[in-house]
Amino acid sequence: MSDDRAVAYMARTRAYYEAQGFDRAYQYAHHDDAPFAPLPKPLSECTLGLVTTASLRPREPLEPREVASAPVTPVPERLFGDDLSWDKEATHLDDVASFCPIVPLEALVGEGVIGALAPRFHCAPTEYSQRATIEHDAPEILRRLRDDGADVALLVPL
Amino acid sequence: MPTVIVGSARDIVEHCAVARFLFVDFPLGNPCGKPWDGAMQGRIVRDAVSLFETATRTQTTVISSERWGDDGWRARYMRVSDDNRAELARMGEALRRRRAARDRRPEVG
What number is the average pLDDT over the span B31-54? 98
What number is the average pLDDT over the span B71-91? 92
Using CB atoms, pick whichever of A32, A95, A156 lies closest to residue B36: A95
Q: What is the CA radius of gyration of chain B?
A: 19
- For B2-41, the pLDDT digits (tens) are 999 999 999 999 999 999 999 999 999 999 999 999 999 9
DSSP string, A43-93: GGG-EEEEEESSBSS---TT-----EEEESSSPPS--B-TTS-S-TTT--S
A99–B29: do the CB atoms touch at under 8 Å?
yes
B34–A101: do the CB atoms touch at under 8 Å?
no
User: Distance between CA atoms of B14 and A32, rounded to whole angstroms?
Assistant: 10
User: Distance between CA atoms of A119 and A146, rounded to whole angstroms?
Assistant: 11
Provide the 3-class DSSP secondary structure of residue A120: strand
Least confident of A2-6, A7-11, A20-24: A2-6
B17–A32: do the CB atoms touch at under 8 Å?
yes
Using CB atoms, pick whichever of B58, B63, B76 lies closest to residue A89: B76
CA angle, corner B24, sides to B22 and B29, nearest 5? 115
The answer, for A67 touching chain B at a CB cutoff of 8 Å, is: no
The answer, for A92 touching chain B at a CB cutoff of 8 Å, is: yes
Q: Which residues pair with A117 in a beta bridge?
A: A48
- For A106-116, the pLDDT digits (tens) are 999 999 999 99
CA distances to A98, B27, B28 from A158, in Å: 10, 10, 6
